[in-house]
Homo-oligomer: A and B are copies of this chain.
Amino acid sequence: MLREGNHHDARIDPAIPDRAPLPRADIRLRKVSVGPVAVFGSSNFPLAFSVAGGDTASALAAGSPVVVKAHSSHPGTSELVGRAVSAAVQEHGLHRGVFSLLFGSGAVVGIALVKHPLIKAVGFTGSRSAGLALVEAAADRPEPIPVYAEMSSTNPVFVLPGALATRAAELGEGWVGSVLTGTGQLCTSPGLVFIPEGPAADTFIAAAGEAVAETIATPMLNRAIASAFDGGAGAFRDHGGVREIARGAGDDDVAFGGVAQLYVTDSETFQADESCSRRYSGRPALFVTVRDMQQLTGILGGLEGQLTVTIQSDGAEPGAAELLDAAELKAGRVLFNGWPTGVEVGNAMVHGGPFPGTSNSQTTSVGTLAIERFQRPVSYQNIPADLLPEAVRDDNPLGIWRQRDGRLAKD
């Protein structure tokens, strides 16, 4: 992406000296770094969303120095990775200030970092409460700064009648494979599934239940997450309108062991009780049976913003287009068939979405577009040729695409 150079967003509007009634000056634009960036390592991805993860990579790519606050769940991994990044900084002769790593309490070190006047943007992946605390701290600064917080998502799956009729058992098993990845603690874990009621739904539920029942407990990330999971599961079990379908085997030798569990309820209970859609890492999975397509689309319209919405559909079956339109308003990524776990690091990926999926729906924390979070545009008016930045020089030394009078060209 850096070699292609599209992230410069280079634009040249050449001078028009004889324009009437007023001449036009030579004006050129490129994007520069916003300045130093604070990055918060997540608990659930000690590599991809931590010290040297996507936030750090996109901030460095934008030209921003990075200060990482290590997550307290994996200090050793953080130190190993931090030392590797520091060695690379030194090896390439970069300024030592390009990368720093801090350890300590989020409430103390983290907030102090966000409040520091030199920090100009924040990248974060974690819980809604921690994310909103950073948003609030950043808004309370004398100079408010943007916080790109990826906070939480239930990643709802909508199963359409056609898909259910032809591959109910396959869908049930496929779903279990996705939802149990990482003991359900992935940001994109599809923990909430809506299914049209009927015999095919029963097949789907039975297949999923059988797969869940075959599992053995796996470790969750830390005590707080394991405890929230157990609390949520207990609330489902005690809930008059929610029924337990299946449960995996426990294992006392596994620290913070998460036992896979599957619950089912109906749409009335789901819509009447906010706790059924509450989001937190590794929440126990819930199926919701619905009466018809109209109710399915209505439920989607009532949900909060999500990282992903998945539609299981046999191509363009009735109602699929309407559901897709509704999903686009709720999520940063919409999938047909397939499962939302497994976030491709590419040019077309959006790992983001409307609030409270993230604190800023206008970007992504995964993929090449993530660089935009840490850039700002600058106009150069009537600057002498030899002082212009390379991205907007007439001879285009970077060989990049640029908008010339609004049209993309390389020369």
**Residue ranges of A at the interface with B (Cβ–Cβ < 8 Å):** 1, 4, 6, 9, 11-13, 22, 24-25, 27-29, 32, 34-35, 135-136, 139, 143-144, 146, 313, 315-316, 320-321, 324, 328-329, 331-338, 342, 344, 346-350, 352, 354-356, 359-364, 368-369, 372, 375-384, 386-387, 401, 403, 405-408
Contacts of A329 in B (CB 8 A): 35
Contact partner of A376 (CB less than 8 A), chosen from B1, B27, B362, is: B362
Residue contact B29 to A405, C-beta cutoff 8 Å: no
Residue contact A22 to B342, C-beta cutoff 8 Å: yes
Residue contact B350 to A12, C-beta cutoff 8 Å: no
Residue contact A324 to B406, C-beta cutoff 8 Å: no
Residue contact A336 to B368, C-beta cutoff 8 Å: no
- Name the residue on B nearest A400 (C-beta): B408
Contacts of A406 in B (CB 8 A): 1, 4, 6, 347, 368
User: Contacts A337-B382, A349-B27: A355 and B316 contacting too (C-beta < 8 A)?
Assistant: no
User: Contacts A139-B139, A384-B315, A406-B1: A347 and B378 contacting too (C-beta < 8 A)?
Assistant: no
User: Contacts A6-B403, A6-B408, A136-B139: A348 and B379 contacting too (C-beta < 8 A)?
Assistant: yes
Contact partner of A29 (CB less than 8 A), chosen from B1, B349, B362, is: B349
Copies in the complex: 2
Residue contact A359 to B403, C-beta cutoff 8 Å: no
A156 to chain B, nearest CB (A): 15
Q: List 6 A-B contacts (CB under 8 A).
A: A9-B369, A29-B350, A338-B382, A347-B403, A350-B377, A408-B408
- Taking A35-B329, A324-B383, A364-B377 as known contacts, 5 extra A-B pairs with beta carbons closer than 8 A to each other, sorted by chain A number, are A13-B347, A25-B344, A135-B144, A350-B378, A363-B376
A334 CA to B338 CA, complexed, in Å: 49
Residue contact B407 to A4, C-beta cutoff 8 Å: yes
Contacts of A352 in B (CB 8 A): 376-377
A276 to chain B, nearest CB (A): 19
A372 CA to B372 CA, complexed, in Å: 11
Residue contact A333 to B379, C-beta cutoff 8 Å: yes
A78 CA to B321 CA, complexed, in Å: 40
Residue contact A380 to B144, C-beta cutoff 8 Å: no
Contacts of A372 in B (CB 8 A): 362
Contacts of A6 in B (CB 8 A): 403, 406, 408
